Amino acid sequence: MGRLILVVLGKQGAGKGTQCKRLAERYSIPHVSTGDMLRAAVKAGTPVGRDVAAVLEAGELVSDDLVNRLVEERFAQSDAAAGALLDGFPRTFAQAEALETILGEDGVKLCVNLDVPVELVAQRLSARRVCVECGAIYTDTDPEAVSGRCSVCGGSVVQRADDRPEAIRSRLEAYERDTAPLLDFYRDRDLLVSVDGARAPDEVTAAIVAVIDERFAS
């Protein structure tokens, strides 16, 4: 099978982070999240991180070029030698094409699309609460969300600004405009598999694992 490189696509709130963490553990490959990489690079003060920090401090969007550099830097790390699960990248055609260049002959082995109705992801996002310290995710009815204190690290649990109604609409519009076309990009390469992401997390994981194991049984 070689290097197992999987792209996970889906609307915000489709459950990509949850599934990537589970799959990363099962297949012993890192969960590569663009957001996590941006924060880590800034915190570490790497050359790319300093460039990212300057962009963010100016209130601007991080360019494709900077994100591509971060991804290339991430794939050079030893823990990605066996592969990786990509969450939040690529988001655009330009990033998908850059990823092909970065990976070379290794290439993406499979693109899993978590298919969830707009109404459900909007509901999930509006109910989501996040620890500002460790990133643990809760719903608004969980004790941690009610108390405002994370049970994992003790950090503050809040509703992120981009999980409020106006921001959710904007994010979903951006997904349909910029990222949804990537489904055709990977379908044309016979790499796309869609999974019903509206089911219980355990059922979604089982469906994805079945596809991966069937394709790469050898």
Q: What are the pLDDT digits (tens) for 86-115?
A: 998 999 999 999 999 999 988 999 999 999
| CA 195 – CA 136 distance, rounded (Å) | 24
Q: pLDDT at residue 75 above 80?
A: yes
Q: pLDDT at residue 218 above 60?
A: no
For the question of residue 128 being annotated catalytic, the response is yes
For the question of residue 21 being annotated catalytic, the response is no
| CA 180 – CA 178 distance, rounded (Å) | 6
What's the angle, vertex CA 44, arms to CA 39 and CA 47, rounded to 5?
95
pTM, full prediction: 0.85
**pLDDT bucket at 73, cuts 50 / 70 / 90:** confident
For the question of residue 91 being annotated catalytic, the response is yes
For residues 53 and 62, the answer to whether their CB atoms sit within 8 Å is no
Q: Which domains does the chain have, with CATH numbers?
A: 4-215 (3.40.50.300)
Which of 21, 91, 187, 199 is flagged as catalytic? Answer: 91
**Predicted local distance difference test score (pLDDT) of residue 156:** 97
For the question of residue 43 being annotated catalytic, the response is no
For the question of residue 160 being annotated catalytic, the response is yes
CA–centroid distance for 145 within its chain: 23
